[in-house]
Structure formats: C-alpha cells, structure tokens
A and B are shown apart, each in its own frame.
Chain A
Amino acid sequence: MITLKDIKQAQWDLYVGLLTIEQKDSLLIQWYAPDCYFNPIQDLNDNWVISVEEMANCVNEEFIWVKDLPLIIYEPKPTPPPFN
C-alpha cells in the first residue's frame, strides 16, 4: 500500500487518497485548512477519493487520519466537452 509518506510532492498530481463511503460522508462540508474544505469526488471506477493536497495540508485534528489514507493512481471520469 502506498501512502503519503511514500511519494514526493512532484508526484502529488498522479495520486489520490482512497476513501470508504463512510469516510467520504464524514468529510462533507468539513474544513481541512483555514478557509479550505474537503471535496471528495468519484474516479473512473466510482471510488471516492480526495486529492493529495487535501491530505498533506490537513490541519484539522478531527480529520488528521486522512494523512494515512491509501493512495491510488488517479483515473478521472471521462466527461464530454462542455461546448459544441
């Protein structure tokens, strides 16, 4: 299992932290740093994930466990272009 301490900052964009449904629900409308809120999203495989930045920059003691989330390679959902 890869975790935050196993990657360099230059690799942050490649990975996301994997959440359970319960963990995702607990993060909704919660702050991780002053004036910054968690935003769990679903990846290509419908996994709930958050960005590595949210994990690394979390200073909210209630959710400090996000720093230990397992990391997976981020695979975004395909979305059609918003324009003609």
Chain B
Amino acid sequence: MIIGKAISPFSIKRRNGGGGGGNDADAQAFITASGISGTEATAINTLVVNLKSANIWTKMKALYPMVGGTATSCKFNLKNPVDSDAAYRLVFSGGGTFSANGYQPNGTNAYANTFFIPSVNGTLNSNHISYYSRTNSNGTEVELGTNISDAAPNSILEIRTTGVTYLAINSNAIYTTFTDANSLGFYIGNRTLSNVIKLHKNASIVSSGTTVSTSQSANSFTIGALNQGSGRFFYTTKQCAFASIGDGLTDAEALAFYNAVQTFNTTLSRQV
C-alpha cells in the first residue's frame, strides 16, 4: 500500500535552472568563468538576486563587478560571462593593477575595451553608464567614454575635473554637470528620453538636463579613458570597483541599482 511519497528538497529544481552551490544560475555562470569563490562568490550571487528582484537585471547589457584580483577574473561581463568580444568581455591594455578592491588604471596608458559600440549595441534614447570610483582625484580624466575624433556624438562620464563632474550620452558636446566635492562613490549617467538626462551619485540625483540626443558613437566604450577611435585619451587614475552599460533607468531603478551595488561592495569591504 502506497500512502504517500516523500519529496526530497534536493530534488526540487531551482527556478533559474540550478547551479553550483545553490546559487542563481546567472551568478554561477560568472563565478565559474571568473574562478572566484568564498565571499566574492556570495556577493556576486546576492548582487544578481537583488538586481533581478528590482527588475533591473534585464536592463543591463554589460556589468563589470571587478572581482578576483586579476585581469582574468575582472574581464568577464556578469550579464554574459563568455570570453568573447561579442559578450563584451573586457580586454585590458597598458599598465594598471588588479586587487581585491578592483581595477586600478594608472592614468598614463591603462584602459579596458568593452567592445560595446553604442551605434550597434545601444539604444539612442535609453542608455545608462555607471562607474564606482574608489579614488578621490581632481584631474582631467574620463572614466567611461566614447566619441568620434573629438566630435559628437559623445557618451562620456567624466568624474570630477577641477571640481566638476560631466556627463553626456548620445549627444553633442553639451554636458550635464554638477559641482562635486570628491570623486568617491557610485556614479550613474542616465538617459531615459530624447531630452531627459540625469546624473546620479550614490543615492541622489545630482544633476538633470534636457540635452537632446543626436546619434550614437561608432567607437566602443572604454573603461578608464575616452575612446576617440584614433586613440584613447584622458586616462583615469580612479580605481574602478564596478562599471556597467545598459538601458536607461527610472529614478527608482537607479536608486535600487545603487543599493544593490553598494551592498555588493560593502560585502567585499571596499565600499566608499
């Protein structure tokens, strides 16, 4: 006589298809590719879970958590951790160093090519770029940028030059700016409409603009410098503990994004 059949909790498949250690499947794919473990792996899993809970995971096209302390571990795109240009895997050039705190460009010739080309891979009126800076500096440095031979269209996040932070996304060289007391924290440059652009620093919207979008750069985004096609310029010294490229975010989504990234970096004891 069969009375009932016990269901083992170990037979229940995870919603996202399972994965090692009970992690989210997307998180596990990154953990496996990058070779990280321990606290870093736990932090990555929590980050992915939080981004999905906030319904912003699908708005991300490239996420660079900068974990593992090597170029090989930092190069992977969390959204698609495949070792290929098409997956927006980073290629590091020039100097720069890697540590548990992220990627430290040298301000001389170091940068990372994302292979993300706005005119091919982006959306004209819905785009965000972000950079988590762990360095307080005040030089003429671009943290994430692309344009064409010093001409429009520009997509540039330039954190604190002579006390001012600059942002342009898919526009002429008309920048949304704000007076910045330091260059520490999580910066999000955000375009959500043809004439709506916002600059977020940590949990605050620090500047808004109406600069109209024009077109998109045909050169790939570079982390750590401005890619003008003919070369890279304005190399940064700001240590990067996270960077991203994706669709535009609502104010609430940008706040949720900050909270998720700050939690992530706090778990890794590298928050600022």
Q: How far does the alpha carbon of A40 sit from the alpha carbon of B108 in the complex, in Å? A: 10
Is the CB–CB distance between B173 and A51 below 8 Å? no
Q: Known contacts A13-B108, A39-B111, A81-B140: does B95 contact A52 (CB below 8 Å)?
A: yes
> What 9 A-B pairs are tightest by C-beta distance, nearest first?
A53-B95, A51-B95, A39-B94, A35-B71, A39-B93, A37-B93, A39-B109, A41-B109, A83-B166
Q: How far does the alpha carbon of A36 sit from the alpha carbon of B74 in the complex, in Å? A: 11
20 contacts between A and B (CB under 8 A): A13-B108, A16-B108, A34-B72, A35-B71, A36-B92, A37-B92, A37-B93, A37-B94, A38-B93, A39-B95, A39-B109, A41-B94, A41-B108, A51-B108, A53-B95, A81-B140, A82-B154, A82-B156, A83-B158, A84-B175
Chain A hits for B95, CB < 8 A: 39, 50-54, 57
Q: Known contacts A16-B108, A74-B108, A84-B174: does B71 contact A33 (CB below 8 Å)?
A: yes
Q: How far does the alpha carbon of A33 sit from the alpha carbon of B97 in the complex, in Å? A: 11
Chain A hits for B107, CB < 8 A: 13
* Chain B: minimal CB distance from A2 (Å): 17
* Chain A: minimal CB distance from B110 (Å): 7
Q: How far does the alpha carbon of A13 sit from the alpha carbon of B94 in the complex, in Å? A: 13
Q: How far does the alpha carbon of A34 sit from the alpha carbon of B147 in the complex, in Å? A: 29
* Chain A: minimal CB distance from B189 (Å): 13
Report A's interface with B, CB cutoff 8 A.
13, 16, 33-41, 50-54, 57, 74, 76, 79, 81-84
B91 within 8 A of partner (CB): yes
A51 touches which one: B91, B92, B94, B168 (CB < 8 A)? B94
Is the CB–CB distance between A51 and B106 below 8 Å? yes
Over the window 93-123 of chain B, the binary record of Cβ atoms lying under 8 Å from chain A Cβ atoms (1 yes, 0 no) is: 1111100000000111111000000000000
Q: Which of B92, B161, B166 has the most chain A CB within a 10 Å cutoff? A: B92
Interface size on B, residues (CB 8 A): 36
Known: A37-B92, A51-B106. 6 other contacts (CB 8 A): A37-B91, A37-B93, A40-B109, A50-B94, A81-B140, A83-B166
B97 touches which one: A40, A53, A76 (CB < 8 A)? A53
Chain B hits for A36, CB < 8 A: 71, 92-93, 96
B145 within 8 A of partner (CB): yes
Chain B hits for A76, CB < 8 A: 108
B142 within 8 A of partner (CB): yes
Report B's interface with A, CB cutoff 8 A.
70-72, 75, 91-97, 106-111, 140, 142, 145, 147, 150, 154, 156, 158, 161, 166, 168, 173-175, 177, 226, 232-234
Chain B hits for A82, CB < 8 A: 140, 142, 145, 147, 150, 154, 156, 158, 166, 173, 226, 233-234
* Chain A: minimal CB distance from B39 (Å): 23
Chain A hits for B154, CB < 8 A: 82
Chain B hits for A54, CB < 8 A: 94-95
Chain B hits for A83, CB < 8 A: 156, 158, 161, 166, 168, 173, 175, 177
* Chain B: minimal CB distance from A73 (Å): 12
Q: How far does the alpha carbon of A52 sit from the alpha carbon of B72 in the complex, in Å? A: 20
Q: How far does the alpha carbon of A51 sit from the alpha carbon of B95 in the complex, in Å? A: 6
Q: How far does the alpha carbon of A20 sit from the alpha carbon of B126 in the complex, in Å? A: 46
Chain A hits for B233, CB < 8 A: 79, 82
Q: Known contacts A51-B94, A54-B94: does B234 contact A39 (CB below 8 Å)?
A: no
